[in-house]
């Protein structure tokens, strides 16, 4: 995998965000180990120090925990915590902008098809 990084935030933060999305999707499951720093560095084609910093950001958010000599593990409740935070962020930041755009375009709930995607 050769991901595209952008200039919107530091690469370690972008990686932490990507790993958080994976945790939200249940990969790896709570209580299971994350791939090693070396494996992640190879997968994302970045410096292992950058990976370490991304993992530390997730430790600081209490989503993963280091286990001496064993690696990083997903903490119990991490998915629920992420889900709560993502919902709050969506409702506070994303939804108002999306609602305003829908209003500008003259779209209502009946115009939106939730079941089928183009």
Give the CATH number of the domain where residue 45 resides.
Answer: 1.10.10.10
Q: What pLDDT score was predicted for residue 69?
A: 94
Residue 27 lies in a domain: yes
Indicate whether 58 and 35 sit together in one domain.
yes
At 36-81, the pLDDT tens digits run: 999 999 999 999 999 999 999 999 999 999 999 999 999 999 999 9
Helix (H/G/I), strand (E/B), else coil: 54 = helix
Structural domain harbouring 91: 79-111
Q: What pLDDT score was predicted for residue 109?
A: 87
Residue 2 lies in a domain: no
Number of domains in the chain: 2
Beta bridge partners of 73: 33, 65
Indicate whether 20 and 72 sit together in one domain.
yes
Q: What pLDDT score was predicted for residue 66?
A: 97
Indicate whether 29 and 66 sit together in one domain.
yes
Indicate whether 57 and 85 sit together in one domain.
no
Indicate whether 84 and 72 sit together in one domain.
no
Q: What pLDDT score was predicted for residue 2?
A: 61
Q: Is 24 exposed, middle or buried (0-12, 13-18, 19+ CB in 10 A)?
A: middle
Reported confidence tier of residue 29, pLDDT bands at 50, 70, 90: very high
Residue 42 lies in a domain: yes
| Average pLDDT over the chain, rounded to an integer | 94
Indicate whether 84 and 97 sit together in one domain.
yes
């Amino acid at each position: 995998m050769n991901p595209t990084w952008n200039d919107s935030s530091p690469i370690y933060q972008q990686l932490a965000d990507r790993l958080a999305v994976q945790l939200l999707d249940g990969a790896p499951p709570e209580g299971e180990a994350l791939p090693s720093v070396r494996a992640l560095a190879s997968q994302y084609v970045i410096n292992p120090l950058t990976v370490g910093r991304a993992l530390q950001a997730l430790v600081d958010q209490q989503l993963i925990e280091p286990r001496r000599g064993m690696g990083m593990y997903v903490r119990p409740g991490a998915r629920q915590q992420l889900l709560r935070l993502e919902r709050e962020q969506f409702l506070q930041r994303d939804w108002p902008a999306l609602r305003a755009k829908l209003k500008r375009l003259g779209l209502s709930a009946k115009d939106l098809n939730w079941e089928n995607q183009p």
